[in-house]
Amino acid sequence: MKATAKAPSNIALIKFWGKANEKLNLPANSSISVNLSNLYSITTVEFDPKLKKDIVIIDGSKEQKETLRTTKHLDVIRKLAGIKTHAKIASNNNFPKGSGLASSASGFAALTLATTTATGLKLSEKELTTIARLGSGSASRSIPDGFVKWEKGTNHQSSYAHSLFPANYWKIAILAIIISTDQKKTGSTEGHSTAPSSPFFKTRIQNIENKVKEVETAIRKKNFERLGNAIEQEALELHSIALTSTPPIIYWLPESIRIMRLCQKLRENGTSVYFTFDAGPQPVLFCLQKDSQKIAKAIKSEVKRTRIIQSLPSVGAKLIKNHLF
């Protein structure tokens, strides 16, 4: 059977950084994210007994470094479904891969939903999130709707993601600013394994539950300043850990810092705008919809040749009828 799924990327408000168990992909801490309406992957999977091996086409090309990771994830699902059949997989992202815009999150969420459906497995949302997690941790958060929490858990079943608030709960604007389309040198998987070498990692883990609660409360109360301050502090903490790990990881570019300073300046002049970053140079800004055009203009005059992708909080992974092949 053939199935196609569309899954959003997500941006973490409380980051997943460091693993408690690499094999099961259990995180060192629980995390919270919001799904992004205009950054997504669409994936079609078809099992075909005539195939001698899997065919993986990502963004129109068979020569992608994600191919092995993709077929490994198929193996996990094949085992669960009790089949050995190979599949053809096509996946398209509507944004540049490997540049810190969480393509693995949307990619593995879409792959998990399309593949489990194509094998005929009937799984709950909770089970889907645990399987997506095995492909890429942050992918677990791209399955449920809206604002999502991934409970760190202690084993495969208890490390799952669930929706905290639906997509339409709070229509804030989220601007992903693409300042560079170069593939980053250090992927997040490598970053996770070096994180504990930072002298600040222990302190982070000791304080993280309070931070998780703070972000949950800020969203529940729709207190934009409170949320903004919490996410900026968290992004700076993630990068402080990366910078002080052995070997150190410098994800930012000069333009990343210029955008951070621009946010501070805009706030001094009365505009509510806050930044976050995942493991890459691209700033992601949170603002109110009424201010988004003004902010986009300010960004374009600060940093030339940027592409800005504006999103709203989005639903999670869904099956769609338009197959890619």
- Interface contacts to ligand DP6, rule CB under 6 A: 12, 15-17, 25, 31, 102, 104, 136-138, 188-189, 192, 278-279
Long-range residue pairs from 297-302, CB within 8 A, at least 24 positions apart, any chain = 298/262, 298/266, 299/175, 299/177, 299/259, 299/262, 302/258, 302/259, 302/262
CB of 82 to ligand DP6, least distance (A): 26
- Closer Cβ to ligand DP6, 57 or 161, answer by number: 161
DSSP H helices, 159-291, are 188-194, 201-220, 224-243, 254-268
CA distances from 21 to 78, 151, 168, 196 (A): 23, 14, 34, 13
- Closer Cβ to ligand DP6, 12 or 111, answer by number: 12
CB of 296 to ligand DP6, least distance (A): 23
Residues in the chain, total: 325
- Closer Cβ to ligand DP6, 149 or 192, answer by number: 192
- Closer Cβ to ligand DP6, 112 or 188, answer by number: 188
E runs forming strands in 116-172:
147-150, 161-165
CB of 207 to ligand DP6, least distance (A): 17
CB of 265 to ligand DP6, least distance (A): 26
Q: Report the alpha-carbon distance of residue 87 to residue 42 in Å, rounded.
A: 16
- Closer Cβ to ligand DP6, 120 or 248, answer by number: 248
CB of 50 to ligand DP6, least distance (A): 32
Residue 196 CB partners (closer than 8 Å, separation 6+): 18, 28
Token output for 267: 């706030």
